[in-house]
Amino acid sequence: MKDIRELLDIEYPIIQGGMANIATHELAAAVSNAGGLGLIATGGWDVKRVRAEIRKTKELTDKPFGVNIMLMMPSAEEISDMIIEEGVQVVTTGAGNPGIYMKKWKKAGIVVIPVVPSVAYAKRLARSGADAIIVEGTEAGGHIGQSTTFTLVPQVCDVIDIPVIAAGGVADSRGLDAAFVLGAKGVQIGTVLLASKECPIHENYKNRVVKAKDTDTVVTGRNTGAPVRVIKNKMAKKYLEMTKYGDIKLEELEVLTLGSLKKAVFEGDMENGSIMAGQSAGLVKEIRTVKDILDDIFKNSRVYKGEL
């Protein structure tokens, strides 16, 4: 099986999560320049904005980077063509089935890595020609599935023969080691990067992640089919109240979710904003540079020191 560092032409087997409104060219370029795979998010953006982000990233790094396509977005199809025009080398997908785009991306030589929350989706997408699979446990921030990273990663490793990348709960070298022991060949990180100097979010958001305890996140929308993990606040309580009876439309929730995410990201509104973050927020203790975060994860890894 191909090493994902070789597959992606990167130094560390660490991929950045495609966080909507957060994973801009600044963050993507910083992660790629630090030796991981940076990603530009697309959630909430139109094709023009994503193209501009791709071009700015190319100016900031000559290392490989990718685009994460949030498949629930109306602009997903247009973006799926634009990334071919722009010569993007890697695509990760989330919140849906990328099957219909797979053929044209593969034909264009793009490395395709879907994010999935279950064994069934992992199997289906491996069969459709994915190059690797990101298996995301329910510890992750944002839109999530039900199973934990600890149980999901080995179950997926047992049934597919392409590299598995673990996501959800990884914020340090112990997380990377645990993922590798479970059979993963790489990790995706998001929450720990929220608390990075280069992350273009409001300082209040970064500080809230640093302050978070183990029990500070909550999952909204479990009963509506769109579960989203956020840090508990007034907004999360309101959201839980609104979705109590599961009779609200998914589209309405999407607008509410992305709108309130912007409040947290740009205005630093920690009461009415949606502060998406994973359970690993409890592990994040300070704001560091992206390079310090990646060096720390990789260089302290016992797997890479040959101790495990």
Binding site residues, ligand TUI, CB under 6 A = 20, 43, 70, 94-97, 115-117, 121, 136, 142-145, 226, 228, 254, 257-258, 276
Quick one: which of 174, 173, 100, 94 has its CA closest to 136? 94
Report in angstroms how near the CB of residue 116 gets to ligand TUI at its nearest.
Answer: 5
Q: What is the DSSP letter of 186?
A: E
Q: At closest approach, how far in Å is the CB of 308 from ligand TUI?
A: 28
Residue closest to ligand TUI, measured at CB: 142
Residue 74 CB, shortest distance to ligand TUI, in Å, is 12
CB nearer to ligand TUI: pick between 4 and 288: 4
Of the pair 33, 188, the CB lying nearest ligand TUI is at: 188
The least distance separating ligand TUI from the CB of residue 124, rounded to whole angstroms, comes to 8
Nearer to ligand TUI, 131 or 177 (CB): 131
Which amino acid belongs to residue 196? S
Q: Closest Cα partner for 152 from 103, 104, 118?
A: 118
We find the least distance from the C-beta atom of residue 256 to ligand TUI, in angstroms, to be 9
In the structure, how many helices (H) and strands (E) does the chain have?
13, 11
Q: Which parts of the chain fold into alpha helices (H)?
A: 4-8, 25-33, 47-60, 76-85, 99-107, 119-127, 149-159, 173-181, 191-194, 203-211, 234-242, 250-262, 290-299
Nearer to ligand TUI, 63 or 71 (CB): 71
Q: Find the shortest distance in angstroms from Cβ 304 to ligand TUI.
A: 26
User: What DSSP state is assigned to residue 161?
Assistant: -
CA-based end-to-end distance of the chain: 20
Nearer to ligand TUI, 121 or 205 (CB): 121
Which of 143, 288 has the CB closer to ligand TUI? 143
Provide the minimum distance between the beta carbon of 143 and ligand TUI in the complex, in angstroms, as a whole number.
Answer: 3
Residues 6+ apart with CB under 8 A from 162: 1, 126, 130, 131, 132, 133
**Which residue number, 142 or 175, has a Cβ lying nearer to ligand TUI?**
142
Q: Are 197 and 289 in contact (CB under 8 A)?
A: yes
- Give the Cα separation of 261 and 77 in Å (integer): 23
